[in-house]
Amino acid sequence: MNEKTFDTVVDKLKKQRDREHAASACGVDLFGFTDNYHTAIHALLEDIFGKDKVDVLDWYLYEYRKGKMQITDSKTRKVLYNMGKEGDLWKYMSEK
């Protein structure tokens, strides 16, 4: 997968999440209708990137907090990836 495709997938997943939450706030449960699509997309992403990286992607998608999403070196505490910085999520995901 290239960066442009990845960015499109992430953008669409974020928009779908927002729509599902808005519908849920109005008492409409869309999760049952979209769960199979999410499961399929998740399986494809795991096949491409691996489970650990997709766990980080899920963290980013479903728990994003501006300024709080960083991956640091456990020994030096140096910030390796700042998920609020454009391109860092892709850099993390595409790193071998």
> What does the CA dihedral 23, 24, 30, 34 come to, rounded to 10 degrees?
100
Query: What are the distances in angstroms from CA 17 to CA 13, 61, 69?
Result: 6, 8, 18
Q: Tell me the pLDDT of the chain (96 aa) as tens digits.
A: 999 999 999 999 999 988 988 998 898 888 888 889 999 999 999 999 999 999 999 998 888 777 678 998 889 989 999 988 899 999 999 998
71 touches 81 (CB < 8 A): yes
Q: Cα–Cα–Cα angle for 15, 20, 26, nearest 5°?
A: 130
pTM of the model: 0.82
* Domain extent listing, the chain: 3-94
